[in-house]
Structure formats: structure tokens, C-alpha cells
């Protein structure tokens, strides 16, 4: 059994322990310990029934911890020590876990960590490594989050919007070390889409797939950022694009538009185009208008100006840009690009350089520095 199949069992095993009377925090700890043991021992000694093995191991861990706790307090163990007999129920336990782990009372960072552990079945060490945080810190972040949600009623439907936000954050982190967070986000969103038929869940899944399909072309040698207009589109994964488009179309047909569906629609129009010049920019602008109506987000307004610049020419883009808050991240980079397209090279070069100093990540910073250098070359007599 490979590691990802093992991880898929984690929510169900937590569910079994909770149904046997364990509280969520203790159950989750016990399953994490069983998971770590499985990762160590299964390669040499694979179990016949993986789920039953995990349930038994986790239940023992839970009882050990419960006994130690009651001994510490000098009380009797109230919990029945023998588990109920019979087969493990096969109900889908993941849905309430999504809502619990992304509960609105948690900060986004805590919700991300807890979701990756309890729903994603990652170990604390793997999560810590993925986010470049010491393991002890990540362990504390997770137990703190669990304390915060202790005692919350589990039978009410949670806030789907925060669940989707958490999954989006995991996807957008972009770091690909040993744990591929983007792939993990897709797996968790796909699993969620199997448990609920909300069109926005499908919209988010489509959005992720449509971006993921283009991943190989986004970075060149030496982690060099390759902008969309220069990407080698033959490297886009057409199978994943087709899947994303199919999922999106089914979601849009439900006629309950939301921001993820609208974002996915924009991504689909890019994915569908053979080149930047053959892209349906007019339709992309229309989708940005929908997205603005749904979110009223300043970042959407800024991205829309780029699309307007392609659809109606750089002057139209610059006119739209004058209505956008200049303090937004990437504002200067967008202005530099539109000015260059308009043939105003000297200020464009200056603004590319200025934008590179304001960049919040190294690939973008280096890209903007190269853009400044490129435009300055054009200015030489």
C-alpha cells in the first residue's frame, strides 16, 4: 500500500474512534500516532486489512492515553476498554471533519495545518517541512487549534466558504518540496466534491485543475518565471484541462454562480487558447465583471485591467487602471506592462524596476528585474 492510500484512510479512522466515544482531539492524536507507526512498520510488514489495522492501533493508543490521563487524575477510567465488536462502519466521515478543521473560529493558518493533518492524513513533520516551520512549532499550532474547537457541536453543517478558502490556501501556497501541496489540495477538494454537490466546490476543483495543468510551463530553467504569454503551451496537460472544463461546465449549468466558478471560467478560457493573441479576451473581461460583482475585490479589479488592455488595447487598460488603488501589490508591475504595450518604454522600464523592489516573492522579483533590463535594451540607440 502506498502512502497516499494510507493517508486516505485517516478521516474514516478518526470517525470510528469518535463514534466509539473518543473526543475529537484525543482521537486525532491517537490516529496520528498510529499513522506514524504504520509509515514505519508497513513497508516491512504490510497488514492484511489496512483500515482495521489503523483502527486497532489508534484505539490502543487512545486507550493508553486515556488510562494515563485518568491515572494522573486518580480517577477510574469511565470509557469501555473493549471496543464494540463487528465490522468497522464504512460511512463517509470526511465531511464533518472538513467543517470542523476549517471552523470559522480558527485562524487560516491553524485551519490549514489541522485540515492537512486530520483530513489529509499528513504527519506533523510533513506539514512542518512543507511550510518551512520547525516541527515543535507546527505541533503546537495544531494542538492549539484542536483546543479551540473542543466542545463544538459536530452535528451542524459548517461554513462551506471557509472550507473552500482553506483548500484554496493550501493549493496556492505553491511550494513543492517532498509534499506537493497543490496535488494534496486537489485530492482533498476532489474528495469533498464527492461528498457534497455544491457548485462552488466543483468550481474550486476545476480552478485548481486548470491551473495545475499548466504547472510544467510556468517555470523555466533555474526556477525562472515564465509569464503566460511566453509559456510553451504544448507542455500543458490537455487531459487535466479537459477534466477541469468538464467539471466547470457541469457546475455552471446549475446556474448558481460563485467566485471560484468565475475564476475557473477565466482559467478555462486561457487553457483553451492556442496563444495570447488568440485568447478570447472580451469574454475574459466579461468574467472579470462577474467576478467583481461577486467579490468587489480590488485585486480582481487590478487583474481585470490587464484583460481590458488585451481586449481593447493598452490605453483602455491604462484608463481602467487609473480607477484602481495604486497601493495594491502588483499595481506597478501592471502599469509597467500596459505602458510598454502602449510604446511608452522609458517609464515602463523605470516601473518594472520599481515593481521588482516591491515583489513579495523571488521568482516575480527576478522576472520584473529581467523585464526592466529587456526594455532598457530596447531603449538603447
Partner 1 sequence: MAKYLLLKHYRGGPAPVNDTRMDQWTPEELAAHVQYMEDFAARLETTGEFIDTQALSPQGTFVRSDGEGRPPVTDGPFAETKDLIAGWMVIDVETYERALELAAELSAAPGAGGKPTQEWLEVRPFLTEMPTVTE
Chain contacts with partner 1 (rule: CB under 8 A): 107-110, 113, 131-134, 136-138, 140-142, 144, 171-175, 182, 207, 211-212, 215, 225, 228, 263, 266, 270, 303, 306, 359-365
Nearer to partner 1, 39 or 273 (CB): 273
* The C-alpha cell that represents 31 in the structure block: 490516529
Quote the least distance from Cβ 37 to partner 1, whole Å: 25
CA distance 214 to 196: 27
Quote the least distance from Cβ 220 to partner 1, whole Å: 13
Closest Cα to residue 94, out of 189, 223, 222, 204?
189
Quote the least distance from Cβ 254 to partner 1, whole Å: 23
Quote the least distance from Cβ 168 to partner 1, whole Å: 8
Quote the least distance from Cβ 174 to partner 1, whole Å: 4
CA distance 163 to 168: 9
Nearer to partner 1, 129 or 263 (CB): 263
Nearer to partner 1, 53 or 331 (CB): 331
Asked if residue 315 lies in contact with residue 342, where contact means CB atoms within 8 angstroms, the answer is yes
CA distance 97 to 11: 7
Length of the chain: 381
Nearer to partner 1, 62 or 281 (CB): 281
Please provide residue 266's backbone torsions phi and psi, each rounded to the nearest 5 degrees.
-65, -45
What does the buried/exposed string (b/e) look like for 344-354 if buried means 16 or more CB atoms within 10 Å of the residue's CB? eeeebbbbbbb
Nearer to partner 1, 63 or 106 (CB): 106
Amino acid at each position: 500500500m502506498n502512502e497516499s492510500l494510507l493517508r486516505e484512510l485517516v478521516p474514516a479512522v478518526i470517525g470510528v474512534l469518535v463514534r466509539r466515544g473518543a473526543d475529537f482531539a484525543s482521537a486525532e492524536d491517537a490516529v496520528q500516532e498510529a499513522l506514524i507507526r504504520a509509515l514505519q512498520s508497513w513497508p516491512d510488514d504490510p497488514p492484511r486489512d489496512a483500515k482495521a489495522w489503523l483502527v486497532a492501533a489508534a484505539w490502543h493508543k487512545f486507550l493508553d492515553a486515556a488510562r494515563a490521563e485518568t491515572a494522573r487524575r486518580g480517577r477510574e477510567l469511565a470509557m469501555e476498554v473493549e471496543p464494540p465488536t463487528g465490522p468497522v462502519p464504512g460511512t463517509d466521515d470526511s465531511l464533518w471533519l472538513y467543517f470542523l478543521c476549517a471552523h470559522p473560529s480558527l485562524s487560516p493558518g491553524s485551519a490549514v495545518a489541522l485540515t492537512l493533518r486530520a483530513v489529509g492524513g499528513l504527519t506533523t513533520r510533513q506539514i512542518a517541512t512543507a511550510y518551512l516551520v520547525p516541527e515543535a512549532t507546527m505541533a503546537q499550532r495544531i494542538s492549539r487549534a484542536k483546543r479551540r474547537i473542543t466542545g463544538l457541536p459536530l452535528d451542524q453543517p459548517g461554513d462551506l466558504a471557509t472550507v473552500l478558502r482553506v483548500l484554496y490556501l493550501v493549493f496556492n501556497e505553491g511550494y513543492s518540496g517532498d509534499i506537493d501541496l497543490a496535488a494534496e489540495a486537489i485530492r482533498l477538494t476532489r474528495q469533498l466534491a464527492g461528498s457534497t454537490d455544491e457548485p462552488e466546490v466543483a468550481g474550486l476543483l476545476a480552478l485548481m485543475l486548470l491551473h495545475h495543468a499548466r504547472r510544467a510551463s510556468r517555470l523555466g530553467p533555474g526556477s525562472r518565471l515564465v509569464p503566460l504569454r511566453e509559456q510553451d503551451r504544448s507542455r500543458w496537460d490537455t487531459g487535466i484541462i479537459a477534466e477541469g472544463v468538464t467539471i466547470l461546465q457541469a457546475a455552471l449549468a446549475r446556474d448558481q454562480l460563485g467566485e471560484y466558478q468565475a475564476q475557473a471560467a477565466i482559467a478555462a478560457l486561457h487553457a483553451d487558447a492556442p496563444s495570447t493573441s488568440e485568447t478570447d479576451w472580451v469574454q475574459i473581461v466579461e468574467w472579470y465583471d462577474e467576478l467583481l460583482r461577486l467579490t468587489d475585490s480590488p485585486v480582481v479589479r487590478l487583474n481585470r485591467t490587464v484583460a481590458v488592455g488585451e481586449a481593447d488595447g493598452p490605453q483602455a487598460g491604462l484608463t481602467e487602471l487609473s480607477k484602481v488603488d495604486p497601493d495594491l501589490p502588483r499595481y506597478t508591475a501592471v502599469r509597467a506592462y500596459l505602458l510598454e504595450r502602449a510604446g511608452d518604454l522609458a517609464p515602463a522600464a523605470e516601473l518594472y524596476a520599481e515593481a521588482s523592489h516591491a515583489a513579495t516573492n523571488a521568482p516575480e522579483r527576478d522576472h520584473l528585474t529581467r523585464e526592466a533590463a529587456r526594455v532598457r535594451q530596447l531603449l538603447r540607440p
